[in-house]
Amino acid sequence: MNRELLITHASQLVTLAGPARTRVGAEMRELAIIKDGAVLARDGVIVAVGATSEVEPQAAVDALHLDAGSSVVMPGFVDAHTHPVFAGTREDEYEMRAAGMTYQQIAASGGGIRSTVRRTRAASEDELFELGKIRAGWLLGHGTTTVEAKSGYGLTVDDELKILRVIRRLNDETALELIPTFLGAHEIPDEYRNKREDYIRLVIDEMLPRVAAEGLARYCDVFCESHVFTVNDSRRVLTRAKELGFGIRLHAEQLSLSGGASLAAELGAASADHLEWVDQAGIEALRQAGVIAILLPGAVFNLGLTRYAPARAMIDAGLGVALATDFNPGSSPTPSMQMILSIACTQMRMTPAEVITAATINGACSLGCEARLGSIESGKQADIVMHDCSDYRQIPYFFGVNHAVVVIKSGEVVVDTRGDASTASR
Ligand SMILES: [Zn+2]
């Protein structure tokens, strides 16, 4: 592809230009907005950013020209925590929760993650790929151009590898970029209920080396919670993962204060995720170790809970914060980062500027992609989304609306839901 892409007349070009590192504290509120902005990309890479009057003359005559028509243009969302490959849905549990049952009660009666594991094991790689393709379309359609994608619904060597191969195929065969994470330590499977040590050994001795040998994951994650994998179990799995070259992520302090945050700090994890129960000492440990806090308020919201992660205390303490959907069939079945931004503003008191930073450049930092993704700057990949509103604050404000109308991945238009009249291609 040699064609240039020119976008002009953004009411607000939300660039997030700035240092290629985690934005913290007041930096999270600096979006580097250009009014009547324009972007020029060549071969999928951004080559000029500025006012329309400056950038437009630099474009080749045969550039694909998109007039933003006074809408907001910003980087594609980087959703740094998803579980998108699974079979079966759990609307039955959703209904049971509406009737008063808790997530834990449903899990204890055989529902929850284990019910998704049974159905995912029974599904073929092709079936999972077809389901994943539909979900990749949802994510792109809501303005997300990159996701971190976890395994964890297989829990056998073969089924975990099957899921990771589906993630790789989705990355290769759809426009969505997926960064793979191995999450074999997601739950103790039914057949290991009374021999959990054997399952931990299976993860450490068989799954991790196979995943590493086949190059199927960049990160390793563990569900660290006292009734699933304790801090000690998690340390053993993640230490082995580090030896094998994986980056580290951690589901930490979601349902109780169990020490996951200090473990993430101790191991130099890329991220500690959830953190609804983290305390001030945990926040400080994460900050000092440079671990990014990935907050997942969609799960709290969807489970009908009220204890959100202390985002304000984190930002005020200078801890880097990212936001993600936690897209999964149980606790957070939404692909919409826009919905997550709304929940973060109203329930965690993050400002609209902070949630945009958390959903773009800080997510990219947690995945080691900050030099390539997460902002609109010369030299970066052209992952750009046009939202049909005139002020970026309307993205969380009009909640439940999908504002994303044009989605561009690596300089290619992959979604365009506007009518013909608004597409100014020449
Ligand atoms: Zn998760």
Distance from the alpha carbon of residue 331 to the mean position of ligand 1, in angstroms: 9
Q: Which two tokens stand for residue 37?
A: 């902005």
Distance in Å, CA 251 to ligand 1 centroid: 7
CA of 269 to the centre of ligand 1 (A): 16
Nearest CA-CA partner of 170 in 162, 240, 395:
162
Answer yes or no: are the C-beta atoms of 164 and 151 closer than 8 Å: yes
Q: Mind listing the pLDDT tens digit of every residue in the chain (426 residues)?
A: 568 999 999 999 999 999 999 999 999 999 999 999 999 999 999 999 999 999 999 999 999 999 999 899 999 999 999 999 999 999 999 999 999 998 888 988 888 899 999 999 999 999 999 999 999 999 999 999 999 999 999 999 999 999 999 999 999 999 999 999 999 999 999 999 999 999 999 999 999 999 999 999 999 999 999 889 999 999 999 999 999 999 999 999 998 999 999 999 999 999 999 999 999 999 999 999 999 999 999 999 999 999 999 999 999 999 999 999 999 999 999 999 999 999 999 999 999 999 999 999 999 999 999 999 999 999 999 999 999 999 999 999 999 999 999 999 999 999 999 975 444 443
First to last CA, the chain: 16
Tokens of 163: 């899921």
Is 51 in a helix, a strand, or coil? strand
Kindly give, in sequence order, each residue whose CB lies less than 8 Å from that of residue 34, ignoring residues fewer than 6 positions away: 10, 12, 13, 15, 49, 50, 51
Backbone phi, psi, residue 100, to 5°:
115, -10
Task: Give the Å distance between the CA of 5 and the centre of ligand 1.
Answer: 36
Distance CA 368, CA 383 (A): 16
Q: Write down the architecture of domain 77-366 according to CATH.
A: Alpha-Beta Barrel (3.20)
List every span in the chain annotated with CATH 2.30.40.10.
4-74+374-422
Count CB neighbours of 370 within 10 A: 21
CB 355 within 8 A of CB 32: no
Q: How far is the CA of 10 from the centre of ligand 1 (A)?
A: 35
Neighbours of 34 (CB within 10 A): 22
Å from CA of 396 to ligand 1 middle = 22
* Calpha distance 390→53 (Å, rounded): 19
**CATH architecture of the domain formed by 4-74+374-422:** Roll (2.30)
Q: How many residues does the chain have?
A: 426
- Cross-strand bridge partners of residue 180: 149
Please, where in the chain does CATH 3.20.20.140 lie?
77-366
State the Cα–Cα distance between residues 4 and 42, nearest whole angstrom: 5
Convert 348-361 into a string of H (helix), E (strand) and C (coil): HCCCHHHHHHHCCH
Residue 224 CA to ligand 1 center (angstroms) comes to 11
DSSP string, 192-243: GTT-HHHHHHIIIIIIHHHHHHTT--SEEEEEB-TTSB-HHHHHHHHHHHHH
Distance, CA 333 to ligand 1 centroid (Å)? 11
